[in-house]
Every structure is written in structure tokens, then in C-alpha cells.
């Protein structure tokens, strides 16, 4: 088997998997939310309501693909693609199991950070191109939020990098063979998780789309599959952040040997996805200014402190 063929299989495998998981998550989230709200959630279409996703997909594909006459058409079409593309690109560096990863990049972590920064464009451009006051307000909020939280998202990971001495994701996982980084880098984990929530603008940090204030924020004007792309992009984001948490802090594919490594990886990932959903079910949305001051005044100093202490320990050790 040639190396090219292997990579083609892996790349298509990852894309297919992710594109299946993302819609699957929609069903998963609805069921979980329902569970925590004492309801059933979608349970009528197919077994356990699984086909609900399919029904929704069919519906969304057949909806009128409306571009408002006042919108900037090119940018309007481009924006939803960016979010999906950047999220999928990020998966390139995720090591699912020994040898199963699209690219064993030596600057893997930096690549992820770069991609997540690019992802911010989708939201900003989408809101801007809609030429609608709610969309614009949403995208402005998104710009500020993502800019702020990206700063210490990177910083919070530096502890892990320092402990490993590499940006390569494979190396980071291998460095956790005996001890997961959650133990030395607990603060780093907490900050990364919060920043990750903010990056994917999930509840409780869904300020850019806050339904009760901005209708749907930056994607107010979107319909049909363009809206669907934003939607899928969000679930891709959740999966991505969860899989990174697993990779960076919870030992990646490592686990007791009665299960294959890739299963361990996905198991851990789904626990974090569920945690994301639990957070959505339980926490209220903070005010916009609260979000920013929380980021700049608490999380940034905390991540710097974490970096300082980690560095000090490494130096002293």
C-alpha cells in the first residue's frame, strides 16, 4: 500500500467521520438537553429518533436559499464556508491513534491556533455581509470575543508545550504515556476549556448569536444550507475542542488495553462533548462586558501565572 493511498484513506476517513459526527451531534445534543430538561427530545423519527437528523438535513437542503438583496453577495456566500473549512483543517493535526492522523506536523498546535483565528473571519464576514443591524452587532461581538479569548487560549497551552518541549501533537500525546497533563496543567486545562467554549461561541458564551437579544446574531439573514454550514461548523468546533482537550490534557489515545486506542480517544472526546452540552443546559449567558472583563482581568493573568509557575518548576526541576 502506497503512502499516498494511505493518506487519501485517512483524509477521507477523517472528513467523512467528522461530517457524520457533526450532524449526529445535533441529535445527540437535542437528546441530552431534553434529558436534563426532563423531556424526551427527538424520539419519533427512526430508532431513538436518530433519523430526525436525516429529516432535518433533507429539510434544510430543500429550503429556499435566500440571499437578501441588500447583502454583499460574494462575502455572504463565502462566510459559512470558512467556518466549516477551518474546523475541518484543524482536524488534520489531531492524532486519533498511533499512526492515524492526517499530518504529523511539527507545529501542529500552532496550526490549530492559526486555524481557529481564521475561523473568526467567518463570523465577522457573515455578519458584515448580511447588512443587517443585528447581524452586524453579532459579528462585532464575535470579533471582540474571539480576539480576546484567543490570546490566553494559546497561552494556556504553552504549559503543555513546555512540558513536552514540542508543538507536535503526537509528541504531546506520547509525553502523557505515564501521567496525563491534566495533573500538572489543571489550570491550563480549565482556561483552555473556557476559551474553547468562547471560541466555538457555545452557550453560555453564545453572545454573538444571542437569540433573545439579536434574533440570531451574525446568521440572522442566513437560511437553507448556508445556515446549515454555520450550524455544522459549530458542532465541528465542539468536536475539535473536545478532541484537543483529550489530546492535550487527557492522554489522547492512551487507556487500558482492553479497548483499542482509537476507541479510547473517541470515548474521551464524547465525554467532553457531553460536558459541553451539560454546560449549555445549566449555565446562563453572561453579559457582554462581563465576558470580556472575565477574559482579560481573570483568565489572562491566570494563564500567565500558570506559565510562570510551570516554567519555574521546569527550570528548578
Partner 1 sequence: MFTILNSIWQVFLHTFRKRATYQYPEKKAPLSARWRGRIILSRDPDGGERCVGCYLCAAVCPVDCISLQATEDENGRRYPEFFRINFSRCIFCGFCEDACPTYAIQLIPDFEMSEYNRQNLVYEKEDLLISGEGKYHGYNFYRVAGLAIKGKDKGESERESPPIDVKSLLP
What residues line the site for partner 1 (CB under 8 A)? 35-40, 278-279, 281-283
How far CA 206 is from CA of 12, 35, 112, 226, 271, in Å, comes to 31, 21, 21, 19, 21
- Name, in order, each residue with C-beta under 8 angstroms of 287's C-beta and a sequence gap of 6 or more: none
Q: Which is nearer to partner 1, 59 or 133 (CB)?
A: 59
Q: Is 176 exposed, middle or buried (0-12, 13-18, 19+ CB in 10 A)?
A: buried
Please say whether the beta carbons of 195 and 152 come within 8 A.
yes
Q: Which is nearer to partner 1, 204 or 224 (CB)?
A: 204
Q: At closest approach, how far in Å is the CB of 41 from partner 1?
A: 9
Q: At closest approach, how far in Å is the CB of 32 from partner 1?
A: 9
Q: Which is nearer to partner 1, 183 or 298 (CB)?
A: 298
Q: At closest approach, how far in Å is the CB of 37 from partner 1?
A: 7
Q: At closest approach, how far in Å is the CB of 305 from partner 1?
A: 17
Q: At closest approach, how far in Å is the CB of 34 from partner 1?
A: 8
Q: Which is nearer to partner 1, 43 or 106 (CB)?
A: 43
Q: CA 179 to CA 167: how far, in whole Å?
A: 18
Q: At closest approach, how far in Å is the CB of 55 from partner 1?
A: 18
Q: Which is nearer to partner 1, 16 or 282 (CB)?
A: 282
Residue linked to cell 457555545: 202
Q: At closest approach, how far in Å is the CB of 212 from partner 1?
A: 19
C-alpha cell at 286: 453572561
Q: Which is nearer to partner 1, 51 or 107 (CB)?
A: 51
Q: Which is nearer to partner 1, 282 or 290 (CB)?
A: 282
Amino acid at each position: 500500500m502506497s503512502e499516498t493511498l494511505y493518506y487519501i484513506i485517512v483524509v477521507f476517513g477523517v472528513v467523512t467521520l467528522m461530517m457524520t459526527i457533526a450532524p449526529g451531534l445535533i441529535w445527540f445534543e437535542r437528546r441530552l438537553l431534553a434529558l436534563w430538561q426532563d423531556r424526551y427530545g427527538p424520539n419519533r423519527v427512526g430508532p431513538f429518533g436518530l433519523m430526525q437528523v436525516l429529516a432535518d438535513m433533507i429539510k434544510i437542503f430543500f429550503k429556499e436559499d435566500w440571499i437578501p438583496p441588500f447583502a454583499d453577495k460574494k462575502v455572504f456566500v463565502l462566510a459559512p464556508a470558512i467556518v466549516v473549512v477551518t474546523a475541518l483543517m484543524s482536524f488534520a493535526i489531531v492524532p486519533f491513534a498511533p499512526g492515524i492522523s492526517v499530518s504529523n506536523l511539527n507545529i501542529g498546535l500552532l496550526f490549530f491556533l492559526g486555524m481557529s483565528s481564521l475561523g473568526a473571519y467567518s463570523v465577522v464576514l457573515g455578519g458584515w455581509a448580511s447588512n443587517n443591524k443585528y447581524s452586524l452587532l453579532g459579528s462585532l461581538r464575535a470579533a471582540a470575543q474571539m480576539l480576546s479569548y484567543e490570546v490566553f487560549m494559546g497561552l494556556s497551552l504553552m504549559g503543555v508545550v513546555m512540558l513536552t518541549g514540542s508543538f507536535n501533537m503526537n509528541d504531546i500525546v506520547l509525553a502523557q504515556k505515564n501521567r496525563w497533563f491534566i495533573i500538572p496543567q489543571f489550570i491550563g486545562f480549565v482556561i483552555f476549556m473556557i476559551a474553547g467554549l468562547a471560541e466555538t461561541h457555545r452557550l453560555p458564551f453564545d453572545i454573538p448569536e444571542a437569540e433573545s437579544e439579536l434574533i440570531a446574531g451574525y446568521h440572522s439573514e442566513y437560511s437553507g444550507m448556508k445556515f446549515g454550514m454555520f450550524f455544522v461548523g459549530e458542532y465541528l468546533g465542539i468536536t475539535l475542542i473536545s478532541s484537543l482537550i483529550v489530546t492535550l490534557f487527557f492522554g489522547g489515545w492512551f487507556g487500558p488495553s482492553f479497548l483499542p486506542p482509537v476507541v479510547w480517544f473517541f470515548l474521551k472526546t464524547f465525554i467532553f462533548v457531553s460536558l459541553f452540552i451539560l454546560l449549555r443546559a445549566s449555565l446562563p449567558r453572561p453579559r457582554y462586558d462581563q465576558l470580556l472583563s472575565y477574559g482579560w482581568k481573570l483568565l489572562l493573568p491566570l494563564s500567565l501565572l500558570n506559565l510562570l509557575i510551570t516554567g519555574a518548576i521546569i527550570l528548578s526541576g
